[in-house]
């Protein structure tokens, strides 16, 4: 795969994309590309435009200027449904449908695409194993699950159709630190195991560096820095990057 990386088109790319919501500039002439099979973390403060990148890649929003490319092709309205079926999308609170059980949530798209019940059950069991979700939770409703369990289910739903890519928007943002820590481990393992194109949005630098080699820092709708953690440390693009790096709090040294 890696040998042909230069030849194959990027899984996703933004070319000089601008997007504004009313007077708020979410993205300002941003160009970014995401290689197939790579894991990238988008970081930045809230309102920096991170989530907008994911929304544009899924056709949930459309750029005011510039183009979005998927697999080298300019994204058209007509392609959106098939694109979304090849991409798993996980948001902060999971976005699970409260009126459906876990299995109902997982089955929504496959059933529409004509999968039979045994096939759906088998895939759900497989993903439960992958995400370490207890299989007897499959019949529960979202309201009967813990926050961590809900995120595991959201990830399972995103993976149901075995997509080419996973887009995660603050997937662990609403969890308490212990669960978050545990899920960070699991997500990293799953990303490595599946080898898919992954783009994860987070405002937590440590989490970003844990998941991905490539970090993209956004601020005010612009890419400030794009590189690995070492680049950020050694060659910060500006004072903001340095401040962002130092804003991570460490536990105080033990006084004993």
In the complex, the residues that contact other proteins under the rule CB under 8 A are 58, 60, 80-85, 89, 91, 93, 95-101, 108-109, 112, 141-144, 157
Q: 87 near 96, Cβ under 8 Å?
A: no
Q: Which is nearer to other proteins, 40 or 105 (CB)?
A: 105
The nearest distance, CB 95 to other proteins, in angstroms, is 3
Q: How far apart are CA 211 and CA 166, in angstroms?
A: 13
First to last CA, the chain: 52
Which CB, 44 or 163, lies closer to other proteins?
A: 163
The nearest distance, CB 113 to other proteins, in angstroms, is 9
Rg, the chain, Cα only: 19
Order of all β-strands in the sheet with 24-34: 24-34, 12-21, 65-70, 73-74
40 vs 5, 6, 174, CA distance in Å?
16, 18, 21
CA dist., res. 34 & res. 156, Å (int): 23
CB of 84 to other proteins, least distance (A): 3
Geometric angle at alpha carbon 96, from 200 and 214, rounded to 5°: 5
How far is CA 163 from its chain centroid?
13
Toward other proteins, which CB reaches closer, 32 or 83?
A: 83
Q: How far apart are CA 182 and CA 152, in angstroms?
A: 11
Closer to other proteins by Cβ: residue 96 or 124: 96
CB of 117 to other proteins, least distance (A): 16
Report the candidate in 233, 235, 196 with the shortest Cα–Cα distance to residue 212: 196
Tokens (6 digits) for 244:
């962002």
CA 102 to mean position of chain CA atoms = 21
Q: Which is nearer to other proteins, 109 or 209 (CB)?
A: 109
| Closest CB 215 distance from other proteins, rounded Å | 24
Nearer CB in complex with other proteins: 20/55: 55
Q: Write down the least CB distance from residue 110 to other proteins, Å.
A: 10
By beta-carbon proximity to other proteins, the closer residue of 13 and 90 is 90
Q: Please give the structure tokens belonging to residue 154.
A: 């959201």
Minimum distance of other proteins from residue 91's CB (angstroms): 6
């Amino acid at each position: 795969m890696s040998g042909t990386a230069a030849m194959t088109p990027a899984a996703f790319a933004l070319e000089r994309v601008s997007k504004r919501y009313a007077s708020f500039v979410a993205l300002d002439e941003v160009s970014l590309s995401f290689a197939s099979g790579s894991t990238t973390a988008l970081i930045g403060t809230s309102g920096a435009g991170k989530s907008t990148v994911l929304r544009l890649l899924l056709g949930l929003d459309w750029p005011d200027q510039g183009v979005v490319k998927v697999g080298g092709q300019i994204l058209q309205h007509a392609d959106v449904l098939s694109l979304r079926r090849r991409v798993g999308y996980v948001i902060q609170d999971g976005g699970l449908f409260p009126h459906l059980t876990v299995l109902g949530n997982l089955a929504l798209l496959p059933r529409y695409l004509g999968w039979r019940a045994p096939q759906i059950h088998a895939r759900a069991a497989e993903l439960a194993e992958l995400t370490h979700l207890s299989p007897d939770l499959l019949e529960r409703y979202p309201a009967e699950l813990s926050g961590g369990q809900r995120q595991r289910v959201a990830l399972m739903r995103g993976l149901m159709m075995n997509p080419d890519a996973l887009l995660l928007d603050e997937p662990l943002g609403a969890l308490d630190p212990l669960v978050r820590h545990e899920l960070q481990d699991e997500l990293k393992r799953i990303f490595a195991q599946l080898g898919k194109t992954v783009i994860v949005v987070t405002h937590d630098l440590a989490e970003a560096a844990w998941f991905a080699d490539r970090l993209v820092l956004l601020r005010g709708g612009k890419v400030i820095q794009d590189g690995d953690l070492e680049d950020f440390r050694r060659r910060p693009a500006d004072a903001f990057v340095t401040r962002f790096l130092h804003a991570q709090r460490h536990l105080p040294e033990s006084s004993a």
